[in-house]
Every structure is written in C-alpha cells, then in structure tokens.
DNA sequence: GTGCTTGCAAAGAGTTTGCACCGTC
DNA sequence: GACGGTGCAAACTCTTTGCAAGCAC
C-alpha cells in the first residue's frame, strides 16, 4: 500500500482518536489539508479491506462511522453510543464472550468479534 | 391512531414476520396492494413513535430494517444478521443482562434493551 | 366537517463511480 | 515509466418533505 498524503493524515487522526469518526467529520478535521470527501471514502474502504479500520453504521445517525483497530489493547473493540447526546466512546475490551456462547448454543449463530454498536445512555446524560 | 389500509396491512405483515424487513421489502410484499414507499416510511415512523416497531440500521446492508415488538415473548428482541448471507433472524430473548452490568460498572454507561444488531455467521454459512 | 393520512414528485443526505490527471515506488 | 491514488462532477441509493386530494372518525 502506497504511502500517500491522504492515507498518512487519516491514519494519524484515526489512531489518535478517542472516539469514532464519520467520513464527513474526517473531511472537516482535515479541511486545511485539502482532502476530498470521495478520496476519504476510498481511503477508508482501503483501510477496511486491509483490516485496519472497522466500519459501523449508527441506527440513530444513519451514517457510517469508522475507527482504527489497535492491535494492542482493543483488538475486539466495540462502540458505545449515547442515544441522547450521540457521543460515542470506544470500549477497550470485549464483553461478549459469555453472550456469544449462549447464542451459539441456542441458535447455532456465532458472533463476530466486532461490528457492534451498543446503544445506551452515557453517564453525563443520566 | 386511525385504522387505515396501509397501517392494517403493514401491522399484519410485521406481526407475522420471522425476520425483519426493509421499507423496500415491505413495498414489494405489498405491491399488489398499491402502497407507496413514502407512505410506508411514514407509517413505520408512526409505528416507531408509538413504540410498536423497532428500527435498526444494518452496517452491511446500509439501510434500515424494521420489526414488530411483540409484548409477549420477545420484549427485548435483538436481531442476528449473518455477515455472509445477510439473512436476519430475531432473537427471542435478551442475552445482555450480564454484559449490561459489566459495562455500567466500568464506564457508567447503561445499555438500552433494544437497538442492537449482532453480526455473526449463521449455522448454514459456517 | 375536521384533521390526520396518502400519493406523487421533488429534494435531501450519504456514498459511490467514471475519467483524466498526478504521485509514489 | 507503470500502476495505483486523487480530484471533480455526476450518478446512485435510501429516506424525507411539500402540497393538494382523500379518508377515518
């Protein structure tokens, strides 16, 4: 994979992110760098294919959000989204192990380790 | 809420569904009944506001799916979606109780009982 | 009859694509 | 220099909206 300006910038932003971003948010963050929205989408797709980022679609925002997969601490990262303020936070561990076994036993369905947005109410909105 | 043709038909279809439907799928199912897509969207919104249906957005299909909330058996229904064949099945119970407590303790975030699509691989695709 | 519901067409948001040009390796 | 990445504009998909006509209560 070639090291281009767009890829270097987006990789840095996503790696340092505490939360997930939409394509448009990345566009705004990098407005000064003159990135194009379509290139951002294409870069995110490339990252996704390479297994570097995870894409999820929020039910409430109705658009895709992207976040970097850090090999070290949250390899099974999940997103928590507050249904009131729509703030998203990345969960650093996988709480699903027990759920996974339970579902597998009852339905034959085995859960993936990613691609789950969990909706709820954050501590600031309660 | 007035009993109109669209509402009666969609309620019946959703109540009898074994899986969730997109607005367009409902449109096709009722092609013979001459329902309009925009009316279907409006009806689904109304049902959602009344707490009768749940709307979720699939990360893979990138569109909204809707399913009826049955008070009796699956009041905390969730959807399982196969990442290979994209078939969706409705889970009749909530596997999240333990996860919920765990997350609340660690992040202060309390999960909702609905609006979760869980992605994995169904037994036919394994 | 009143007010909510519908149908149609148009607009809107998010995302993808075609093509010529440009940069990386 | 070759090949893949980019910019721009246009197209595409899903969803929402405005407005006039229709239907339930």
Token pair of A18 as six digits: 């505490």
The whole-angstrom separation of Cα B47 and Cα B66 is: 10
The distance from CA B29 to its chain's CA centroid, rounded to whole angstroms, is 17
pLDDT digits (tens, 9 = 90+) for B88-114: 887 767 777 777 888 888 788 888 766
Which nucleotides in chain C lie less than 7 Å from some protein C-beta?
4-10, 13-18, 23-25
Note which residues in 68-87 of chain B have CB less than 8 A from chain A.
Answer: 80, 82-83
Please check whether residue B110 is in contact with residue A120, taking contact to mean a CB–CB distance below 8 angstroms.
yes
Which of A62, A110, A120 shows the shortest C-beta gap to B120?
A: A110
What residues contact A66, with CB distance under 8 A and at least 6 apart? A14, A20, A21, A22, A23, A26, A44, A47, A48, A53, A54, A55, A56
CB B70 within 8 A of CB B91: no
- Among A13-22, A42-51, B27-36, the range scoring the smallest mean pLDDT is A13-22
Are the CB atoms for A64 and A101 separated by under 8 Å? no
CA distances from A40 to A4, A16, A55, B71, B81 (A): 12, 17, 13, 44, 28
- Which class in CATH covers the domain with range A5-120? mainly alpha
CA of B44 to C1' of C22 (A): 48
CB of B6 nearer than 7 A to strand C? yes
Q: Which of chain A's residues have a Cβ under 8 Å away from the Cβ of B110? A: 120-121, 126
For residue B74, pLDDT over 50 is answered with no
Q: Calculate how close chain B gets to A97, using CA atoms only, in Å.
A: 9
Between CA A29 and CA B54 the distance in angstroms is 34
Contact A120, A86 (CB under 8 A): no
Rounded to 5 degrees, what are φ and ψ at B20? -90, 160
pLDDT tens per residue across span A75-117:
556 778 887 787 887 776 777 777 788 888 878 888 876 667 7
Residue B9 has pLDDT above 80, yes or no: yes
pLDDT one-digit tens code per residue, B11-54: 999 999 888 999 999 999 999 999 999 999 999 999 999 999 99
Q: Is the model's pTM score more than 0.85? A: no
Residue A59 burial by CB count (10 A; 0-12/13-18/19+): exposed, middle or buried?
buried
Residues A84-116, buried b or exposed e (16+ Cβ, 10 A)?
Answer: eeeebbbbeebbbeebbeebeeeeebbbeebbb
Alpha-carbon separation of residue B78 from A68, A88, B8, B118 (angstroms): 26, 21, 24, 8
Question: Contact A89/B107, CB-based, under 8 Å?
Answer: yes
Q: How far apart are the first and last CA of chain A?
A: 45
Rounded mean pLDDT of chain B?
85
Tell me the β-bridge partners of B24.
Answer: none
């Amino acid at each position: 994979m070639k090291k281009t300006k767009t890829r270097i910038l987006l990789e840095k932003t996503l790696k340092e992110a505490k939360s997930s971003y939409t394509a448009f948010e990345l566009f705004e963050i990098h407005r000064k760098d003159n990135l194009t929205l379509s290139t951002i989408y294409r870069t995110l797709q490339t990252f996704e294919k390479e297994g570097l980022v995870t894409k999820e679609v929020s039910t409430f925002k109705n658009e895709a959000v992207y976040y970097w997969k850090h090999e070290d601490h949250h390899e099974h990262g999940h997103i928590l989204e507050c249904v009131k303020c729509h703030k998203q936070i990345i969960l650093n561990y996988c709480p699903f192990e027990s759920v996974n076994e339970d579902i597998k036993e009852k339905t034959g369905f085995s859960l993936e380790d990613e691609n789950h947005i969990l909706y709820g109410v954050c501590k600031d909105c309660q």
